[in-house]
Each structure stands twice: as C-alpha cells, then as structure tokens.
Chain A
Amino acid sequence: MPNMQKEKTAMPEQLPDVRNKNFSEVALGYSEEQALNEAQRCLHCKNAPCVTGCPVSVRIPEFLALAAKGDFVGAYHVIKSTNSLPAVCGRVCPQETQCEGKCVRGIKGEPVGIGRLERFCADRAMKLMKEKSPDESEGATNSAEDSCIEKKAFTSEGDDGIKVAVIGSGPAGLSCAGDLSSRGYKVTVFEALHKAGGVLVYGIPEFRLPKDIVASEIKELEKKGVDIQCNMVIGKVLSIDELFDAGFKAVFVSTGAGLPRFMGIEGENSNGVYSANEFLTRVNLMKAYRSDYGTPVRAGKAVAVVGGGNVAMDAARCAKRLGAEKVYVIYRRSEAEMPARREEIHHAKEEGIDFRFLTNPVRINADEKGNCRFITCVRMELGEPDESGRRRPVAVDGSEYDIDVDTVIIAVGTVPNPLIRMTTPGLDTDRHGCIITSDGVTTTKQGVYAGGDAVTGAATVILAMGAGRQAAQKIDEYIKGLSKKTE
C-alpha cells in the first residue's frame, strides 16, 4: 500500500535567520526514514508520466521502488544509467516543471519529492563509495601542479586510444567526457578557468550545491582516465583546427553561455554595479566571502538584483549572506512568470529578500565619485502575450520611483561567448551567437559537435547534461564511420 500522505515529506532545512548568514547548504537532506516514507508515496503508475517530464528519461518509478525497499544504492544505479550527475540534478533541476510537474500525486496534493529522493540516493551511494576507497575524499586534482605532467602528454601521439577533445567543463562537457571515456576514448577536457565544473563551480553557490559534490564527480571522471586541462582558453591558446592537427579525431564544444548582458541604461558603469556573473564568480569561484582568499567583493548595505531567474535568486541570496541589510529583487513581470525554481523563490523570501514584481529599472544614479546611490524604477503592467507566451510587461506612465541602493547586480541573461565562433572557420552560429546544429549536437563543421548552453542559450543543467550524452553517442558513430572509410 502506498503512503497516501498528501504533502511531500518535509525537507529538513537550516532556519532562514541562521542560514542567511552562512554559506552552508540550506537543505540538509532527508534521513533514511524520511526517504523511505517519501519513496513509498509513489503509486507506480503504468504510464509513468513523470518519466516523460524528465529530459533524460530517468526511470523514476523503478528507482523509487528500489528506494522504497531501502535499496538506495540500487536506486542510484538506475538513475545513473541515464543521468551522469544525480547528486547535482537532485539539487538543481526545476522539478516542478519536469518530472514532479507530471506526477499524478500532484493533482490532489503535492507530487512525490522525486528530486529530493534522487539527491538522497546519490548522496548515500557516494558516501558508501567514499568509505570503500578513502582516497576519494580529497577534492578534484586538476590543480596546476597535477596537470603539468599530463600537459606534456596530450599532444604526443598516444597509442592509448583515439583522442577526443571536449571544450568547457560544465555539465555538458563533463557528461560527454564521461560517456566517451566509458566507450574507450582518450578524452581531454580543456577548461578556460582554473577550476573545472563550469556554472556548477563559478555560478551556483555553495549553499545550494556544495562544491565537494562537484569535485567528487570530477575526481570520478579523472579516475576513469579523463584528462582535465585547466587554464586553457581554446580559441586563444589553441584553435579547434589546431586540436585536429594535434591528433584529436573529434571535438565537443560545450563552452556554455557565459557572456553577461547588460541593460543599456544610464549609470550602468557606476561603481557598485556588477553583472551577476562577476558577482557570483567573485563569491563562488574566488571565494570572496572567505577571509583566507584574496579576491574582494563589495556587497553594500542595500543591494538591488535585477532579473527573475535562478541567477537572480543566487545573487540576491549571496548578497544577503555577505551582510547586506536590504536586498531587493527587481523583476519586470509578475511572480508567476519568474523562471527561477519555485523552491529557490520560496527560500529567498524566507531569507528576507524583498521582491519588487512588475518593476523595471530605468536609471542608476551615482554620486560625484561614481558610486551607486539609488536606482530609479518604473512600475509595469502586463499587456498582450509575447512570442514566449508570457504577457509582455509595459511601463506605466509617470510611475517612476527611487530605491536607495549602493550595489546593483544585473542578472538579465547571458549569451554564448564569441571566442570559439570567431576562431573556428566553418562553425556556423545564429544571430544570438548560439552554435547551429542539425540534430541538437551535430554542427556545420565536420568532426565538431556542440551541446549545452552554447547551443541552446542559457538553459538548465539537465538539458546540458543530456546534450553531452547525445553528443558522445554521435561522436562514437562518427569516429567508427571514419575508421570504416579508411579500412
């Protein structure tokens, strides 16, 4: 008999007033009892609507059945067979619009907490694996020191397998590398920054996705033989054509959509105005919140974050944690249109973030030293639906008002970096700078595949991961085709 409890089993969390002063994970994770209780809420529907909601078709009822019996490791392996990063996805997927959005239990109550259980199974399995081989407990080893020995190796003609290059180490790149390596390829991942992980390390904060989870995923890949080369800005230090010259048979481009957009309003270059990327990179990648790290960050007394996505939520919550007394989120549509995960909007509200919906900034005002002093906004109302299907916000005449802030964080979206596009003849992109593909991953240049945000524009971890796996499949087919031709 399934457990007919209407609500999801509550997730233990740090109290709002405590957690908004620290960077530790907000959601503490289920206990074994709670996990069993929640897993038993699944009705095991024959048609499994939840699976159709998952971009990588995790076999949800199957893993929930194992979890309900207490076989969490077995459940983990079911998830892992289609999802390379369960511990990450359980934490950051927008489940309410994916699996859980389709769950039958959601009709008369709350859906099964699929994400929470995915997280529990993954955490449990990873903990057990760590206990078995304790050397894994250290973080990823892609430091300058370690990669230096390997660095010499990647260009020498190895006899240890066919070489494939992956550019960018976000979820798309990592999953592609993992799959290719399982298929026997010798994979080198080139990453521009000094740490691997993409948005998972530089964007999403510690309190939502602890960095040691990402580090152990990366460590796992390295143990499989994937070589991760950090500090390699492809397009500058080596071009894609040069990678082919160096003996790589195929290239996967997963460089994300990391270029910040600004609003183009007056005063945007004032001191104290950041792109969310800059602010989050300082905080997460460069650990500006820790006194033992050198990078400064200036989160003032009063902060306005402009935007309504996950990026805006993360920036607002980081600013609060850095000690800002007042943090506003300024969003031009209403709450219903916000693209952020529901859970994060809820968390942000609990933590004391002040939401100003249907509000749009028109000007940032600075003092004579150039320091931001207040932001002038205008109220909006929703008009006719636009091409995205959401009602278009229009400014209300004469509704301008000021909010005193000394910091403004712009989180109105990002676009792909043009570096690869500019240095790779034959690789076509659309007018937004996104790489054009025929089937989601095959580009216009032979041997070059692409996926993740670099193709779709800013999207989700799970879609990027799915694209990485699809590309691994295509690359495998392509390389097998090549060797047939030469036979």
Chain B
Amino acid sequence: MFKILKRDVLAENVIRIKIDAPYIAKKAMAGQFVIVIPNENSERIPLTVADYDRSLGTLTLIFQVVGRTTEELAALDEGDSVYSVAGPLGRASEFEGMKKVAVVGGGLGCAIAYPQAKALHEAGVCVDMIAGFRNSSLVILEKEMRAVSKNLIMMTDDGSYGEKGLVTDALRKMIDGGAGYDAVIAIGPPVMMKFVSLLTKQYGIKTIVSMNPIMIDGTGMCGGCRLTVDGKTKFACVDGPDFDGHSVDFDELIRRNNMYKEQEKQSMSLREHFCRLYKLSDGN
C-alpha cells in the first residue's frame, strides 16, 4: 500500500510521484486532496490530487521541496512506500454552468490547476490557461496544460520564458480582448489569488480560488485550517478547499500561513527558506 510506483522530477525541486492507493483512486475528484505522512515521525501535510487512475488504482501527487516534510517525501524512491496517505478529502470542485473558463496557475499551483483544467476540458468546457512562474527553470506541466486548453499563456517574472509579467497582466489582456469568461479559477500563492480576485471583481467575473492553509487532520478536527470567508469562519479542509475568491480574507490567510515560519526554519535541514507544501512564495 502507498508504494511509489513512479517518480520523476518535473523541474528544480518539483517532484511527481505516482502511488498505489486503490481506495483513494476510486473516489478522488478534481479539487480534492490527501493528507500525506512521508515517514512515521513526519508531519501530516496536505497534497492535492494531481491525477488518478481508477482502474489501475493509482494516485498522482506533485509537490515542491520547500521544508523538512517535503524533503522527507522527496527522499523516497520508486519502490519505497509512503508511511500514510488518507483521503480523498475536501469537496470536489464544482463546475456547474461553466462554459468558458480561464484557469490561472502560479508556480506549483499549476499542479493543482492542471487537474481542474483537465476536468473542465473533459466536461466540454472551453478552457484558457494562464501559467505564471518565476523563471524558466521552474516551468512545469507545460505539455499537459497545453493539451487541455484552447489557449495557454506562459508568463515568467523575468521574461526568461513565455511573456514577461504577472498572470494578472495576461488575464486582464484576455478579458479586455473579449474572451468572455463566465468564471476564473485561480490557484497559486495567496498573494497571486488575492490579486486575481481583485482584478476579476472589477469585471464582475465569478472567481474560484483553492486554499492551502496549514492543516493537520484534514477532516475538521483541529480548526488549524480556518479562514474567514464573507466574515464567517470556515474550515478549508471540509468547507473547501475551493472558495469564492471575492469573499476570502486573503490578508488573514497570508498572516496565518506565516505562523510557523520561524519553527519551520529551525526544523529544516537543507534549504533555508520556509514554506510548506504549495505555499510558493517563490511561485510568483
């Protein structure tokens, strides 16, 4: 169980693993996540279901090496087993009534945005994807994203690949060009999702963001993943992870995500910058 069947490196520090998890693979849907514990003594971390194969019973996860736990996971090879994987957790994404959608991914957020784009594409929805990275060495999943989108716009902060600029620049251009999106899905660092949401609010386009707060159990038991949506406290693991981007209190989310920064620094062995899972301060 939870044996790593395949492992490849997608970009610098970005790793994809395919694991044997038949029960989870049977139920997983786009937008859901699993809680992974690499070794017995490791932390529990949430990872989004990047792909699944129901007939083979496999689950694909993509993660960036950003801290002690992801390092431990990265240290496992093909043939090794992950100590524990529980899920699928959270609500599946809801795409009802969508006809034309822009899916915006930032950094490793693309690994989460991609399965959503794929699910939309397979449901016959017209998808444009905008993918932003810091620089060319961090680009992941380009081929996969291209396969499921009508237009794929690649952006880098430094212009080393695709267009130079932020994803919001590209999104604004597309909207102004008359793309006519009835929804935008934004997945990436909280700051990116915040600015995408601010932009789409001006245009009155429904926007869904995928939250990635600190989690422990992923089942509603700890409240560590709480965030404020429309002035109300929600648990990202059970009420989300998808939320209306125009209602999320991003500033609070960003503050809460920084909570363990100091300790993470101490508990980390190789790389010095903090970040849990897809808290990609460096994605955008």
Contact = CB atoms under 8 A, between A and B. Distances in A.
B41 A233 contact: no
B252 A144 contact: no
Interface of A: 143-145, 147-148, 151, 192-194, 230-233, 236-238, 258-260, 262, 264, 268-269, 271-272, 274-275, 277-278, 281-282, 286-287, 292-296, 298, 369-370, 417-419
Contact of B1 (A144, A233, A275, A294): A144
Grouping DSSP codes into helix (H, G, I), strand (E, B) and loop, the A interface class, with mixed when no group exceeds half, is loop
B159 interface: no
A293 B264 CA distance: 12
Contact of A278 (B40, B87, B222, B228): B222
Contacts of B216: 278, 281-282, 286, 295
Interface in B35-84: 37, 40-44, 68-69, 72, 81-84
A231 B86 contact: yes
Given A145-B81, A192-B219, A281-B217, A268 B233 contact: yes
Contact of B222 (A148, A192, A281): A281
13 contacts: A143-B83, A147-B1, A148-B1, A231-B84, A237-B87, A238-B23, A258-B221, A268-B233, A277-B223, A287-B41, A293-B41, A296-B260, A419-B220
Interface residues of B, number: 45
B88 interface: yes
B33 to A, nearest CB: 11
A414 to B, nearest CB: 9
Nearest to A282: B216
A286 B24 CA distance: 23
B178 to A, nearest CB: 40
Interface string B233-254: 1000010000000000000100
Contacts of A148: 1-2, 81
Given A144-B81, A231-B85, A233-B86, A298 B260 contact: yes
Interface core residue of B37, B228, B264 (most chain A CB under 10 Å): B37
Interface core residue of A231, A259, A260, A298 (most chain B CB under 10 Å): A231
B258 A271 contact: yes
A148 B103 CA distance: 38
A230 B223 contact: no
A151 B1 contact: yes
A292 B68 CA distance: 12
Nearest 4 pairs of A and B residues by beta carbon: A148-B1, A370-B255, A278-B222, A296-B263
Contacts of B238: 419
A377 to B, nearest CB: 21
A230 B1 CA distance: 12
Interface of B: 1-2, 23-24, 27, 37, 40-44, 68-69, 72, 81-89, 216-217, 219-224, 226-228, 233, 238, 252, 255-256, 258-260, 263-264, 267
B223 A192 contact: no
Interface core residue of A258, A287, A292 (most chain B CB under 10 Å): A258
B19 to A, nearest CB: 11
Contacts of B259: 271-272, 298
A244 B263 CA distance: 45
B233 A237 contact: no
Contact of B41 (A237, A294, A298, A417): A294
Given A144-B1, A236-B87, A278-B223, A294 B81 contact: no
Interface core residue of B37, B81, B86, B221 (most chain A CB under 10 Å): B221
A383 to B, nearest CB: 29
A296 B264 contact: yes
A260 B44 contact: no
Nearest to B40: A143
Nearest to B69: A294
A277 B217 CA distance: 10
Interface core residue of B44, B68, B88 (most chain A CB under 10 Å): B44
B256 A271 contact: yes
Contacts of B44: 194, 286, 295
A236 B89 contact: yes
Contacts of B263: 296, 298
Contacts of A369: 255, 258
A457 B228 CA distance: 27
A295 B37 CA distance: 11
A271 B87 CA distance: 27
Nearest to B37: A194
B222 to A, nearest CB: 4
B83 A370 contact: no
Contacts of A296: 43, 260, 263-264, 267
B128 to A, nearest CB: 32
A370 B256 CA distance: 8
A144 B1 CA distance: 7
Contact of B87 (A233, A264, A272, A298): A233
Contacts of A287: 41
